[in-house]
Amino acid sequence: MSESSGVQIDDRPVEGRSLGTTRVANEVVASIAALAALQVQGVAAMYHPGAQPIDRIVRRSHAHRGVRVELREAALHVDLWIVMEAGGNVPVVGAAVQRRVAEAIDRMLAMRVAEVNVFVSEVVFA
């Protein structure tokens, strides 16, 4: 995840004047992305690259660890590492994750998402 202080959201003026700034921590953006990805059928969990072997598959708590968020040129670039269920169609699941993540970020933060990259890092067999 990018080490900046967070993502600044364009604040709407109230009665013609600005009341301040709203910033969202990168972890919050990453959590939104991870939870949206986990709602897609075929996604078993998030994958944390570089973690210890026992901690690599992350279901709900700390799910944002399988996500990297960067703000470049006023748009978000999101990378997600997922664990797929066996038998899933990788292109279909990947496209569904991209759509769901972009929609969730747009709905909750009203920010432009330039790209959502999905990396299938592992497959689980139930």
Q: Residue 1's pLDDT band (boundaries 50, 70, 90)? A: very low
Question: Is 116 contained in some domain?
Answer: yes
By DSSP bridging, strand 75-85 and strand 113-124 are parallel
> Is the pLDDT confidence value at 28 over 60?
yes
| Predicted pLDDT of residue 60 | 47
Tell me the C-alpha to C-alpha distance, in Å, between residue 53 and each of 1, 58, 59, 87, 113. 20, 11, 15, 23, 31
Domain at 97, CATH number? 3.30.70.1350
Question: Is 54 contained in some domain?
Answer: yes
Instruction: Report d(CA 37, CA 114) in Å as an integer.
Output: 17
| Predicted pLDDT of residue 11 | 61
Question: Is 1 contained in some domain?
Answer: no
Question: Is 40 contained in some domain?
Answer: yes
pTM for the whole thing?
0.79
Question: Is 2 contained in some domain?
Answer: no
Segments forming the whole domain that contains residue 44: 7-124
Q: What is the pLDDT of residues 30-88, one digit of tens each?
A: 999 999 999 999 999 998 766 555 555 545 445 567 899 999 988 999 999 999 999 99
Overall number of domains in the chain = 1
Question: Is 109 contained in some domain?
Answer: yes
